[in-house]
């Protein structure tokens, strides 16, 4: 049920929690007006803007609900950012510029509430990533197999990527109309792939450099414990 007054709670989708959560109505603004058209006939409209804040993660979303006298009782409800929107990951700055630019366009399409376009974009994106990583060695299947052989992805990842590529292809060529959750699954797969190829190796190398070598620690321990043994 919708919140009636500011401070009331209701359940709506949260883009950051990626599920339906309890939100608090922070602010409501109602805009209404009417007009008289030919022969004195009056039409009216009412638009309500609700600012809602997730009580779990504090993310804020704006809901615009409109009624028009001539299309009553239908209500036009839109969310900004829309349900499909998701935060671009901070690690995108680890990506090569051209790839980051395509990825950002995919996120912009999600911000606009598009569903088929991001799937097509994700497919193009995976295609380019494979070309850069393993070269132009054949079709999607061959390149996925090579990614697995070179250790970038596991057998499970290869299967998931195949599913993501096929969804993008279906959106482009087979009239597939994806749902929000389909797009989120594909974006999860794309983000996991990017992290595996571009982000995790850099982080692992940094961690390796920062971690004291095991041998030195063991030597130091042996050195510090040696006199004690001699005294006893």
Residues that bind Zn ion (CB under 5 A): 14, 16-17, 21, 54, 56-57, 59
Closest to Zn ion by CB, 56 vs 138, is 56
Q: Least distance (Å) from Zn ion to the CB of residue 149?
A: 40
Q: Least distance (Å) from Zn ion to the CB of residue 53?
A: 9
Closest to Zn ion by CB, 56 vs 135, is 56
Q: Least distance (Å) from Zn ion to the CB of residue 54?
A: 3
45: nearest Cα among 64, 68, 70, 65: 68
Q: Least distance (Å) from Zn ion to the CB of residue 15?
A: 8
Cβ of 34: how many Cβ atoms within 10 Å?
10
Q: What is the CA radius of gyration of the chain?
A: 27
- Those residues whose C-beta lies under 8 Å from the C-beta of residue 92, and which sit 6 or more positions away, are 100, 103, 104, 194
Q: Least distance (Å) from Zn ion to the CB of residue 23?
A: 8
Closest to Zn ion by CB, 83 vs 123, is 83
Closest to Zn ion by CB, 21 vs 169, is 21
- Those residues whose C-beta lies under 8 Å from the C-beta of residue 198, and which sit 6 or more positions away, are 91, 94, 95
Q: Are 4 and 30 in contact (CB under 8 A)?
A: no
Distance CA 29, CA 186 (A): 36
Q: Which two tokens stand for residue 135?
A: 């070269």
Closest to Zn ion by CB, 23 vs 123, is 23
């Amino acid at each position: 049920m919708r919140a009636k007054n500011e401070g009331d709670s209701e359940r709506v989708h949260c883009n950051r929690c990626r599920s339906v959560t309890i939100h608090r109505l922070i602010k409501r603004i109602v805009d209404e007006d009417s007009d008289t058209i030919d022969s004195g006939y009056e039409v009216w409209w009412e638009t309500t803007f609700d600012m809602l804040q997730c009580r779990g993660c504090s993310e804020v979303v704006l809901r615009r609900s409109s009624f028009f006298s001539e299309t009553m009782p239908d209500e036009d409800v839109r969310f900004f950012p829309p349900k499909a929107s998701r935060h671009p990951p901070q690690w995108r700055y680890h990506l090569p510029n051209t790839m980051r630019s395509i990825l950002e366009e995919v996120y912009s399409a999600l911000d606009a509430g598009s569903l088929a376009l991001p799937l097509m974009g994700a497919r193009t994106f995976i295609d380019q990533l494979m070309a850069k990583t393993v070269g132009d060695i054949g079709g999607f299947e061959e390149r996925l197999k090579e990614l697995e052989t070179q250790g970038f992805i596991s057998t499970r990842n290869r299967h998931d990527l195949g599913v993501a590529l096929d969804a993008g292809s279906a959106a482009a060529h087979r009239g597939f109309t994806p749902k929000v959750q389909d797009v989120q699954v594909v974006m999860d797969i794309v983000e996991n792939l990017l992290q595996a190829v571009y982000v995790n190796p850099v982080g692992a190398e940094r961690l390796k450099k920062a971690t004291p070598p095991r041998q030195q620690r063991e030597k130091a321990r042996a050195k510090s414990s040696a006199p004690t043994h001699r005294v006893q």
